[in-house]
Structure 1
Amino acid sequence: MPTFSPAAVWPIILLSMSNVFMTFAWYGHLKFKGAAIWVAVLVSWGIAFFEYCLAVPANRIGAQVYSAAQLKTIQEVITLLVFSGFSVFWLKETLTINHVLGFALIAAGAALIFRA
């Protein structure tokens, strides 16, 4: 069983946390369609600040272990996982088999990035 160094695990943890903020910043306002667009933009910018406070260190730490392409791939896979949960629980949308199959194809592509 492979062992993971903290430098390999922390970027994944930080990117996961930043992704929660990012998803709320980008899509959270869709639940409040009656709010003025300028309010949605300002609130989104405020939320995105915290996303950056987590994403930048995640990438700095991660660059010690992963290539830039691998870091981006990790971030995209996390984005799909976080967004899937977000869309179901926050936006009350359903995931269809097409979503699942599409995400599976993306995951298969991501696996190629990490192939030796």
Structure 2
Amino acid sequence: MPALPLHSYIVPVLLLLASNVFMTFAWYGHLKYKSAPLFMAVVVSWGIAFFEYSLMVPANRMGSAVYSVVQLKTIQEIITLVVFAGFSAWYLGQPLKWNHYAAFALIVGAAFLMFYEGPSPMAR
């Protein structure tokens, strides 16, 4: 079976990154405008979420050719945390603390295990 080109691995990750930027603004951007009516926040968030879905669905469709579904979800979660960390500090003015970084490090460790293809403990 021939190796897939590098862009087969990179494009889905870039689409996931872009979709997560939209997702983060859709879910949390309205917190900067708490005086706006809730209905307006919901409508604007749904509008932003359309662009998130427009990127997320193709990312998962393309990514499933080179990653397992579990790996895709793990990539998406790591990207979500990275995007949210930047968004929290930059847009909302709520920088992360040491314990947040420690928690992220543990999640990255879990992600490593998700992609690790070492010997099976059942194989003897």
Please give the range of the TM-score, normalised by the shorter of the 2 chains. over 0.9
Q: Write the deviation string for residues 39-72 of structure 1: whole angstroms up to 9, x where unpaired.
A: 0000000000000000000000000000000000
- 1:57 and 2:92 are equivalent in the alignment: no
Query: Number of residues paired by the alignment?
Result: 114
Structure 1-normalised TM-score?
A: 0.96
Amino acid aligned to 2:37: A
Which residue number corresponds to residue 67 of structure 1?
A: 68
Report runs of 4+ in structure 1 exceeding 3 Å deviation.
none
Which residue number corresponds to residue 34 of structure 2?
A: 33
Q: Which runs of 5+ in 2 are unaligned?
A: 118-124
Which residue number corresponds to residue 22 of structure 1?
A: 23
- What percent of counterpart residues are identical? 59
Q: Write the deviation string for residues 8-64 of structure 1: whole angstroms up to 9, x where unpaired.
A: 111100000000000000000000000111000000000000000000000000000
Q: Which runs of 5+ in 1 are unaligned?
A: none
Look at both structures and tell me which one has the larger radius of gyration over its CA atoms: 2
Following the alignment from structure 1 to structure 2, what is the Cα–Cα distance between the partners of residues 94 and 84? 8
- 1:77 and 2:78 are equivalent in the alignment: yes
